[in-house]
Amino acid sequence: MDPSSRPGLIERLSALLLREPEDREQLLELLHGAFERHLMDADALSIIEGALSVADMAVRDIMVPRAQMDVVDINDTPEKIVEVVLETAHSRFPAIGESKDDVLGILLAKDLLRYFAGKEFDLRDTLRPAIFIPESKRLNVLLREFRASRNHMAIVVDEYGGVAGLVTIEDVLEQIVGDIEDEYDFDETADNIVKDNTGRYRVKALTEIADFNAAFATRFPDEDFDTVGGLIIHHLGRLPKRNEVLSIGGLRMQVLRADSRRVHTLLVDPQKDLPLSPPLAADE
């Protein structure tokens, strides 16, 4: 049989869906049936399920809360703003006036290049317009608006007009395709603790405390938390930021990946100049 005459994925799915589903549950059953019959792979099924789920989700479900927003002050000097950019590693920042409720626009980090190139620079003139959306906006509608307007960030406001948080196009896309990977990601089927060529360890935040203790000869308790991510949050008293560095029990830990909801990946470096395995103090 000529390979070019074989039906493609679309044709096979169309044939499968000739029996029109009456509701979403039946549609998902058909899609899972297609997966079990090898008409689509797991990634395709996951993306389709993600695309269906965004219609049921609102901005409030995925936004970065107001308290965790990284912003720049309109009155700050370019040098101070650059410090914020380097510390947070974002590409876009709400620029605020008197408070986070006073969002004046969006600063693109790349626009700071004009200042360092010696060209005329005025922060207010550099800002891009901020887009304001309600907490209740559906994600599928927001994604369509992002694509039409070519905006990548929106400011979320509550029913009283106050700023509740922010959301980016990446936040929406990750609901469909999963976490967008970066250079620090490693395969989901790999071990939770992986040593790199520098002698440091990449550790998944979901690694259980018992396994972590066994790997690093530490004695962290697990009464109040079960995972390394829980240990980090307990130590800080809040969710950490990406690239944040802390020292716990003689280990230097850098947060490689984290979002507004949880920690994903850590870089652990056993320090030689600190005791390796003291118990976690109560105030830590």
The predicted-structure confidence for 207-219, as pLDDT tens digits, reads as follows 999 999 999 989 9
Domain-embedded: residue 204: yes
**CATH code of 102's domain:** 3.10.580.10
The predicted-structure confidence for 144-194, as pLDDT tens digits, reads as follows 999 898 889 999 999 888 999 999 998 888 877 765 444 445 544 457 888
Cβ burial 136-174 (10 Å sphere, 16+ → b, else e) = ebebbebbeebeeeebebbbbbeeeeebbbbbbbebbbe
Same domain flag for 141 and 125: yes
- In the chain, the percentage of residues whose pLDDT exceeds 70 is 80
Mean pLDDT (the chain, rounded) = 79
Strand partners, 93: 107
**CATH code of 255's domain:** 3.30.465.10
Domain-embedded: residue 96: yes
| pLDDT of the residue at 275 | 40
Domain-embedded: residue 215: yes
What's the structural domain count of the chain? Answer: 3
Radius of gyration of the chain (CA): 23
Residue 201 structural domain: 193-270
Domain-embedded: residue 14: no
Same domain flag for 31 and 65: no
The predicted-structure confidence for 38-88, as pLDDT tens digits, reads as follows 777 766 777 777 777 777 889 998 888 998 899 999 999 888 998 888 888
Domain-embedded: residue 276: no
Query: Of the candidates 151, 177, 203, which is a domain's last residue?
Result: 177
Domain-embedded: residue 236: yes
Long-range contacts of 104-110, Cβ-Cβ distance < 8 Å, separation of 24 or more:
104/74, 104/130, 105/129, 105/130, 106/130, 106/153, 107/72, 107/81, 109/85
